[in-house]
Amino acid sequence: MKVPYLDLKKINNTYIKELESAFHQTMDSGWYIIGNNVTEFEKEYANFSSTKHSIGVANGLDALIISLKALNVGKGDEVIVPSNTYIASWLAISYVGATPIPVEPRIDTYNLNPELIQSKITTKTKAIMVVNLYGQAAELEEICIIAKNNNLYVIEDNAQSQGASYKNQITGSWGDINGTSFYPGKNLGAIGDGGAITTSNIDLYNFCKVFRNYGSQVKYFNEIKGINSRLDELQAAFLRKKLPDLERISNIRIELAKIYNLGLKNVGDLVLPKIASHATSVYHIYLIRTKRRDELMNYLAEHGVGTVIHYPIPPHLQEAYKELNYTKGDFPIAEEIAETCLSLPLHQEMSLDELNFVIEKIKSFYK
Ligand SMILES: Cc1ncc(COP(=O)(O)O)c(C=O)c1O
């Protein structure tokens, strides 16, 4: 048996009829940029996120950049960000001219440790970018309280956790402004790039709506120096077909994760995912840790099981961030995760046979 890490063809084939009809409807409309589908999807995604507004943009990185711009974060400002996130969170901060200030995650939930934030706040700190990593909501209430007490903005990077919640409140609704990604592999994935911003603040909404469209509300009248980062009408049409199914998808992923949890309990030196109290996970990624990560990864590959490392090099050790002069040992928890983590195949179209095959292969590795 072969078990790929992800099977996007299989996933999207389950919607083929709806996607085809969305394609034909968009073609027939003759309107391909910011039309009815973008406008309606924005309402539907805001509704899903329990926010007043949503703005469709070209991708998740742009969603974060535009969010920071809306908050007027820029040169000379510092933004607190997890040391172990995907580099996009850091890049958005750098792109607006601010400095990412890494804070370590908890070693068990992999999400930002609120207890470590206060000591990193300086007079230059303007915002906290909290990432709901791997599908799990971070400790959002505690983080928002710290931000409030220190007069800081909160931005959620919710690229990986659409539909997760903390204390029964959905992710993407906690921050002043929040960004998400519809990259094809995400739980809500487009058939190409896409992203969205969510906020309940009308001023931030108005800024983002104009900024993503050349700084213009009325064609050829430019109020601010914006960019072109619009969600495609066609992608919005596809996403409108998939969004109503997102809750079902999350529930399947949660069920599959439970089976992994049971099957892999007490196997070798494996560390299984831990969900913080009051948090839920929609298991964008089912991540295990082991000291024998590379060996296990190779063994699984030899037996037809695809796995991925999320992520092999933490941002502070990336070539792209050499100007910050960090060295190995500066963020030991992020480094430990990078050295030991392995993501197992998990998606809504995965069969129980495939899942059990992965479990059996892992068990046989440790025998
Ligand atoms: C945590 C996180 N933030 C931001 C992004 C950026 O999203 P995109 O690839 O759509 O730009 C991603 C995904 O790639 C991500 O995983």
The pLDDT of residue 35 is 97
Specify the CATH superfamily of domain 246-366: Aspartate Aminotransferase, domain 1 (3.90.1150.10)
Ligand 1: residue of 110, 181, 235 to mutate (most ligand atoms within 8 A of CB) is 181
Nearest CA owner, ligand 1 atom 10: 60
8-244 and 246-366 share one fold: no
Q: Is the dihedral of CA 270, 326, 158, 185 positive or negative?
A: negative
Q: What is the pLDDT of residue 302?
A: 98
Residues 174 and 140 sit within 8 Å (Cβ to Cβ): yes
Query: What atom in ligand 1 is closest to the CA of residue 181?
Result: 10
Domain ranges of the chain: 8-244, 246-366
> What is the CA(300)–ligand 1 centre distance, in A?
27
CA 92 to ligand 1: nearest atom: 4
Of all protein residues, whose CA lies closest to atom 7 belonging to ligand 1?
60
Atom of ligand 1 nearest to the CA of 131: 1
Pocket of ligand 1 (CB under 6 A): 59-61, 85-86, 88-89, 131, 157, 159-160, 181, 183, 193, 195
**pLDDT single digits (tens) 152-186:** 999 999 999 999 999 999 999 999 999 999 999 99
User: In sequence order, what are the residues at sequence separation of 6 or more whose Cβ sits closer than 8 angstroms to the Cβ of residue 140?
Assistant: 130, 132, 156, 166, 167, 169, 171, 174
Q: Is 111 within 8 Å of 131 (Cβ atoms)?
A: yes
Whole-number Å distance between alpha carbons of 324 and 226: 28
Whole-prediction pTM value? 0.98
Residue nearest to ligand 1 atom 2, measured at CA: 159
Q: Which fold has domain 8-244?
A: Aspartate Aminotransferase; domain 2 (3.40.640)
Q: In the chain, which stretches have pLDDT less than 70? A: none
Give me the pLDDT at residue 256, please.
Answer: 98
- Structure tokens that stand for 244 in this block: 């109503």
343: β partners: 287, 308
Buried/exposed code over 70-93 (b: 16+ C-beta within 10 A; e: otherwise): bbebeeebbbbbbbbbbbbbbbbb
Give pLDDT, residue 144.
98
Nearest CA to ligand 1 atom 8: 60
Distance 76 CA to ligand 1 centre (A): 25
Nearest ligand 1 atom to the CA of 182 is: 10
The dihedrals phi and psi of 286, each to the nearest 5 degrees, come to -100, 105
* Beta bridge partners of residue 216, listed in sequence order: 222
pLDDT for residue 41: 98
The CA 265 to ligand 1 mean position distance, Å, reads 30
Q: Atom 15 of ligand 1 has which residue's CA nearest to it? A: 159
User: What CA–CA distance (Å, rounded) separates 108 from 308?
Assistant: 19
Please give the mean pLDDT across all residues of the chain.
98
How many whole angstroms from 62 Cα to the centroid of ligand 1? 9
> Under the phi-then-psi rule, with left for phi > 0, alpha for psi from -120 to 50, and beta for the rest, what region is 46?
alpha
Residue 64 CA to ligand 1 centre (angstroms): 9
